[in-house]
Structures are given as structure tokens and as C-alpha cells.
Structure 1
Amino acid sequence: MSETTETGVRRTTVQVDGETASYLTAGQDGPVVLLLHGTYWSRVWLPVLGRLAEAGLRPLAVDLPGLGRSGGELTLETATVPALAEWVARFASALELSGPIAVAGHDIGGAVAQHLLVHDRLDVPRLALVNSVLYDSWPAPHVARFRDPKAAVATTAGELLAARRQAVKAALAGAATEQRIADYVDPWTDPRVRRSWLAMAGAADSRYTLELVPALQRSAKPKLLIWGEDDGFEKVEYAEKFASEIPHTTLVRIPDADHIPTENAPDQIARALIDFLTP
């Protein structure tokens, strides 16, 4: 199944583990860039996809299982960072992707991206992180409260939708409009997606990034951090620490942008990614 928008971005699907994996893409050929989301969905990458394709790249922004438009449903076991990294590797295999695959991650998707690089689940020559979780920066309080199974079970659909709406509004900051907020929140109207999101929240654990630090410090592969400076969830101080401690890392700061800076400064972020991915 494939659907094309007027911007040239297509939403299409592939089967992974017997379930439908939905992803956004643009362009036809060129070096593959795998774009991973975290507690949101592939919508976070939409503003830059067309720009990446115009520069000769082949961007693929996948919805993790049970989230966004993908089928399936996450559990506490399948929502861990290592399990999601294994799923992403199977997604790449289902698309018959071969050779080097650059990876970019946002939010918890950044933890998955770091895991893919360190554990060689894919041939990742370059790693980009956009307002990603780092070290012990996560889970954010509005996510961490759902790590308590009792809190997750007691949360009604209306309460979770309201909480997600509030988080999206804060993450978009100056880019927030009623239509954009509605677009972002839409997947959570599906009970299966709400359950999957609660599983991701329940499985959120900073040990999955802390344990990667020694290997990242030994890695000679280029790394790029792109950071909305006003992020109240993933603070820029963590990016500064990462850039100072992890070799071969460049930090690009985006002023007046929050946790989803692709909406605030798509041209600037696309240019930073293009310059990094097409040296």
C-alpha cells in the first residue's frame, strides 16, 4: 500500500513479524537514512523528508510497532530499547536494505539509534540525534509516571489523550497550532496505540543509554547532535556533555526551538542533516 501527498512524501507499508509496518519516505534512490521516533511517531520527521530527498538522500521514517500507523502492539518486553533495535533491524531486512544505513533518532528513538550503532545491528556509518535521550536524561516526568503499572492501569483514555495533548503542545512550543496538535495526537485515539505507548513508557529506562557510553566513547564514527535549545524534556546541557565526552561529535544548536525542533526550523535541521550525511 502506498499513498503520496502533494509534497512528494509517501506513506507506505511492509510486513514485519507478520504485522504491517508503516513508514514515510520520499525520493527513490540515494543513500538510505533511517529516521526513528520515540514517544511520538513518524510525524516528527515529516517537515524534513522532502528536503532530504531533494538533496539526493532516501529518507525512511518508520512507525515503531503499535505506534503511529503501524500494526501490532508493544508489550513491556518488546518496548525496551534493545527489543526495538532488533525490530528496526528486521524492518530494514524486510525492505531488503543493504550496505551502509545512516540512522537519525529523536527522543527515545535516539536511544534505539545509539544501540544500533554500538551493537552493529545494522551497518551504521553515521549517527544523528535530534533532541534525543542521553545518559540519564530520561524518562521525562510526564512519561516516568506511567512506569508504575497501577498508574498505567488506572489511566482512562481521556486522561491519556489529555496528557499526550499537553505534552505535544509543550514539545511544539511556538510551532503549536490546533491543527498540528490534532495531527500529532490522532494515533492515540486508537486503544491499541494507547496500550503500546503505555508499554513504551513502562519500559523506559536510562540504563539502556548509560550502558552504551563506554562503547560510544570508543567509536570513531561521526555523530551529529541537533538540539532545540528550549527543550524542557531533553535539556541542551546533556547534548553539551555528550559532545564534550564522545569523540567525533558535532553539536548544532537550534535557538527558539523545543523538543520537536523539526517543526520550528525544518530548513535549518534539514541542512544540518544533509551536510552531515552527504560529506
Structure 2
Amino acid sequence: MTVLTDNLVVDGVRLAYRDQGQGMPVVFIHGTPSHAYEWRDVVPHIEADGFRTVTYDLLGYGRSERPVDRDTSVAAQTELLVHLLDALDIDRADIVAHDIGGAIGLRFAVAHPERVRRLLIIDSVSYDSWPSPTWRRIIDEHLDDFTSMSQEAFDDLLTRQLTMTVADASLMTGDVLRAYLAPHRSALGRVSFFEHQVRHYDAKYTEEISDALGRLTVPVRILWGEKDQWQPLHYGRRLRDTIPDADLVTVPDAGHFLMEDTPERVVEEIRNFLALP
């Protein structure tokens, strides 16, 4: 799969995206530190099942624009999702979302329930779960001086973090690791990573919708890796207990990036969820 194929200007900014297939739209929203690459082993199977799949890089991520003066927080990304769906003439869609993408999906479902048919969230940030302790330490130590960080030091830092995302560390090596590092292999990439991603690791965006989760009416499935080192499983259980009729599926021997540890299981769960009456 060519992960992203086109560009689209929405609300004055450029997003890299891919829109393929026919049928009910399924929108995939990636997390951080990541980009649409994380869906490469998932999306083709859902598309082959007869769905229209939309995959894109969040603003400030991957191949999308990295604006100098533009909010790229979870709240702003949620509003941008509205503009993206409007531009693609999508009135209602299924949403599959990971990590901060899960927060975007939840915020979107709270604000625009009429536009969501189903929502599947994977190891999502929620409540006060983020930033994780290791990311909090990085914020405290590097957020004010990241411009002086060398490429080697940055690569070492991000590699250590990415290795924590999988239960099997051997999966985050070689070409896969290089693909996750690729958007940041420049001075602009390093600055963008801290300004567009890390600076917005803030639980206020999930805590402010916590009370509204109990009023959600869209079907929600929660998929979680039992060995997630960033988002402990008890947050998945809390979401299940809060969101009406939500179900929680836990995946053994899998970490935060389920799509790397067990892509086949992710495809299976998405298929099962989309097939429900």
C-alpha cells in the first residue's frame, strides 16, 4: 500500500491523505509519535472488504503541512477533521483511531455524534493518562532547549521511546524504525516534532470531555494491548465502564502500537466491529 497519495487544502492548510475504495467511509486517525504509516498493514484489508478508506497525516505530522503559527492540539485537530470530511463530501463515517487519534475520535463523537456511525479506539489517551512518565521527563528536560539538540541525540531519544511502543522490540528496528524516524530527519523535522506534537501532550484535552463520555450514543469498541507501557490497561477499563455499551478487547503480548505487534488481530477486530448490525 502507498500510504498517502494526494494532498488537500482544508481550512487553509495542506493535509496529505489517501482516499480509496467504495462503500461506507472508514476514517483512520493515527497517534504520536507517528503518522499514517502505522496503518499500512491494516487499511488495505478493510478497503478490500468493500469500504471506502480515508487515511491522512494530522496537521504538523508526517507529510502534512507544518505551519508556523497554527494550533495542532487535539482540540484543533478535531475541528480540522470536520473540515476534512466536509471537503471529501463525507456526512457520516466509521472512525478507527489510535493514541491521540483516539482522543480526536472521542472529541469528534461528543461534538458531532450524527457524523459517527461507529468508533473504534486503540490504546487511546484519556482522562489524565498523558503524557506518560517518560514523555513528561522529556518535556521537562528538552522542551525549552530542543533547538540545540543534534540529529544523533534526537534519533537516540525517539528510538528509545519508539522501542517502548511494542511488546516485541525486534519489530521496531530496520526499515520500520527508519519510517517512523523519517519525518524528523532534518532541523525542521526536529523542531516540528516538539512544536506540533510534544508541546501539545496535555491531558486537559481529554479531561474536559470526561463527563460527556457517559452520554455518548454511538457504538464504541476499545482495543488495548495488555503490555502497553504508555497507556496502562486500567484506562481502557475506565473508558469501557464510562461509555454506554462500550466493549473492551484486550490483546495479550501486545504493546501500545498494536498495528506493529499484531496487525492481523487489529484487522480482525475492525472487521468484526464494522460488521455488527
Structure 2 length as normaliser, TM-score?
0.89
Cα distance in 1, alignment partners of residues 97 and 68 from structure 2: 19
Over 3 Å counting, the alpha-carbon distance change for 1:212 and 1:229 in structure 2 is: same
Following superposition, the deviation at residue 211 of structure 1 comes to 1.5
Q: Percent identity?
A: 29
Following superposition, the deviation at residue 42 of structure 1 comes to 0.7
Cα distance in 2, alignment partners of residues 58 and 249 from structure 1: 24
RMSD after superposition = 2.1
Q: Secondary structure at the match of 2:40?
A: helix
Q: Which shifted more, 160-169 or 48-57?
A: 160-169
Other-structure match for 2:52: 58
Cα distance in 1, alignment partners of residues 217 and 113 from structure 2: 17
Question: Does residue 222 of the first structure (1) align with residue 219 of the second (2)?
Answer: yes
Cα distance in 2, alignment partners of residues 143 and 11 from structure 1: 32
Other-structure match for 1:44: 38
Cα distance in 1, alignment partners of residues 207 and 262 from structure 2: 29
Other-structure match for 1:237: 234
Over 3 Å counting, the alpha-carbon distance change for 1:142 and 1:158 in structure 2 is: farther
Question: Does residue 82 of the first structure (1) align with residue 75 of the second (2)?
Answer: yes
| Aligned residue runs from structure 1 range 181-260, under 5 A | 181-199=177-195, 200-260=197-257
Other-structure match for 1:20: 14
Task: Note the alpha carbon deviations across 1:225-263, whole angstroms, 9 max, x for none.
Answer: 111111100111110121122212111111111111112
| Conservation of the 8 A alpha-carbon contact between 2:27 and 2:93 | yes
Task: Note the alpha carbon deviations across 1:128-187, whole angstroms, 9 max, x for none.
Answer: 111110111101233334545424445443322221122222213422232211111111
Other-structure match for 2:116: 124
| 2:97 aligned residue (105, 125, 144) | 105
Question: Does residue 71 of the first structure (1) align with residue 47 of the second (2)?
Answer: no
Q: Secondary structure at the match of 1:273?
A: helix
Question: Does residue 172 of the first structure (1) align with residue 155 of the second (2)?
Answer: no
| 2:260 aligned residue (263, 267, 272) | 263
Following superposition, the deviation at residue 19 of structure 1 comes to 3.8
| Conservation of the 8 A alpha-carbon contact between 1:66 and 1:192 | no
Cα distance in 2, alignment partners of residues 146 and 202 from structure 1: 11
* Aligned residue type for 2:266: I
Q: Secondary structure at the match of 1:125?
A: strand
* Aligned residue type for 1:176: M
Over 3 Å counting, the alpha-carbon distance change for 1:16 and 1:219 in structure 2 is: same
Cα distance in 1, alignment partners of residues 57 and 41 from structure 2: 16
Other-structure match for 2:22: 29
Q: Secondary structure at the match of 1:13?
A: strand
Q: Which shifted more, 220-229 or 169-178?
A: 169-178
Cα distance in 1, alignment partners of residues 154 and 134 from structure 2: 11
Over 3 Å counting, the alpha-carbon distance change for 1:278 and 1:190 in structure 2 is: farther
Q: Secondary structure at the match of 1:227?
A: strand
Give the number of aligned pairs: 270
Cα distance in 2, alignment partners of residues 121 and 182 from structure 1: 38
Over 3 Å counting, the alpha-carbon distance change for 1:24 and 1:257 in structure 2 is: farther
* Aligned residue type for 2:198: A
Unaligned runs of 5+ in 2: none
